[in-house]
Homo-oligomer: A and B are copies of this chain.
Amino acid sequence: MMTVNNITISKTTSKKEKPDQTQLGFGQYFTDHMFILDYTEGKGWHDPRIVPYQPITLEPSAMIFHYGQTVFEGMKAYLSEDGDIHLFRPEKNIQRLNRSNDRMRIPEVDETLALQAIKELVKVDADWVPSEPGTSLYIRPYIISTEPFLGVAPSKHYKFMVILSPVGAYYKEGINPVKIAVENEFVRAVKGGTGEAKTAGNYASSLKAQALVASQGYAQVMWLDGIEKKYIEEVGSMNVFFKIDGEVVTPELNGSILEGVTRNSVMELLKHWGITVTERKITVEEIFEAHKNGKLEEAFGSGTAAVISPIGTLAWDGKEIVINDSKTGEVSKKLYDTLTNIQYGKETDVFDWIVKLER
């Protein structure tokens, strides 16, 4: 046992066998260690520790099972060309975690400690960062409410944990466009709700619509605003961009859209390249209209998992449009290449986005 930055580290005595790096998939394998930090009312957050990866034991009345007070984050560690481990803008995820905490009435975590915890954990499990092209180590920080009490009130106890999962290349045969269907019945989030927080309930509520469009041959749902069912919000678990007549637009943050780290990075890159990018309200009607007038050049989702996911086909209200001949657009491709190149250290990190782990 040792202590680094106040974090106690107890290493496992029996390391697991590593899975085949070409068959990783997503979120199926977990590493040898995890980080845990406890919260007790009156005492605050305490006992930061890295321990062997192990099951969690909770009372059947633990609040997480009943009232869903919980938040999470998702980010990745990348093995760079020269053998370093890279995190991509981790402070953004930690800031978002605290914004989610605020919405869900979970006590905020110390951002410096949270970043240290993630760094130390990845260092302890550094041999789990995969090296096959396109692979990475997915990092999942999350907080659950653990007080054994049945009643709708903020929990008095929480656990902040970080687990790690080596994940495969999202695109095995190169980036390729998907078919998306606009959702008219079900809603992911609404103004005044929890859409801008990364919290479990938003994902649970999306499953039914996702299953419905999947049965019709679409990969993901495009979510509209819950009030007028007119304005585009997100696509699946990604933010969304459209290139119309040379300019790029993305839905403005309105309280029901998650503020993606990739979304922000895409906007920074576009500005850097001199391409106009505007955050504003976008109706699905406008997108279909732009397509009709031959002005809809590209459409894509952005998120940590896929980085950039081009939209090849968009269905809405019985109509279907094919965007850019269902090929990956020039800007989509350039964004994907630049972002992944920065992440894997193949391109200069002009924005200082990378946090290198000293090993």
Contact A60–B64 (Cβ < 8 Å): no
Least Cβ–Cβ distance between A244 and chain B, in angstroms: 27
Among A59, A62, A67, A151, chain B packs the most CB atoms within 10 A around the CB of A67
Task: Select the stretch in A8-16, A23-31, A290-298 that faces chain B.
Answer: A23-31
Which A residues, 194 to 217, have Cβ-Cβ distances below 8 Å to chain B? 194, 199-208, 210-211
Contact A154–B211 (Cβ < 8 Å): yes
A135 an interface residue at 8 Å Cβ cutoff? Answer: no
Residues of B within 8 A of A30 (CB): 59-61, 148
CB within 8 Å for A65 and B66 given contacts A190-B226, A201-B194, A207-B154: no
Which A residues, 171 to 230, have Cβ-Cβ distances below 8 Å to chain B? 185-187, 189-194, 199-208, 210-211, 226-227, 229
Contact A69–B207 (Cβ < 8 Å): yes
Residues of B within 8 A of A54 (CB): 60
Least Cβ–Cβ distance between A263 and chain B, in angstroms: 18
Interface string of A137-164 (1 = CB under 8 A from B): 0101010100011111110000001010
Known A-B contacts: A30-B60, A190-B190, A193-B193. Give 12 more (CB < 8 A). A28-B149, A30-B148, A53-B60, A54-B60, A55-B57, A61-B140, A64-B200, A67-B203, A70-B204, A105-B211, A140-B150, A227-B227
Chain A residues touching B, range: 35 or more
Contact A66–B72 (Cβ < 8 Å): yes
Bound form: Cα–Cα A358–B46 in Å: 50
Contact B200–A200 (Cβ < 8 Å): yes
Residues of B within 8 A of A165 (CB): 61, 150
Least Cβ–Cβ distance between A21 and chain B, in angstroms: 18
Among A53, A140, A190, A199, chain B packs the most CB atoms within 10 A around the CB of A190
A58 an interface residue at 8 Å Cβ cutoff? Answer: yes
Contact B205–A201 (Cβ < 8 Å): yes
Contact B163–A60 (Cβ < 8 Å): yes
Contact A194–B190 (Cβ < 8 Å): no
Interface string of A45-89 (1 = CB under 8 A from B): 000000001111111111011111110100000000000000000
Residue in B144, B149, B189, B202 whose beta carbon sits within 8 Å of that of A65 in the complex: B144
Interface string of A298-313 (1 = CB under 8 A from B): 0000000000000000
Bound form: Cα–Cα A187–B207 in Å: 21
Contact A193–B190 (Cβ < 8 Å): yes
A98 an interface residue at 8 Å Cβ cutoff? Answer: no
Residue of B nearest to A140 (CB): B150
Contact B193–A226 (Cβ < 8 Å): yes
A237 an interface residue at 8 Å Cβ cutoff? Answer: yes
Residues of B within 8 A of A191 (CB): 187, 226
Bound form: Cα–Cα A28–B150 in Å: 7
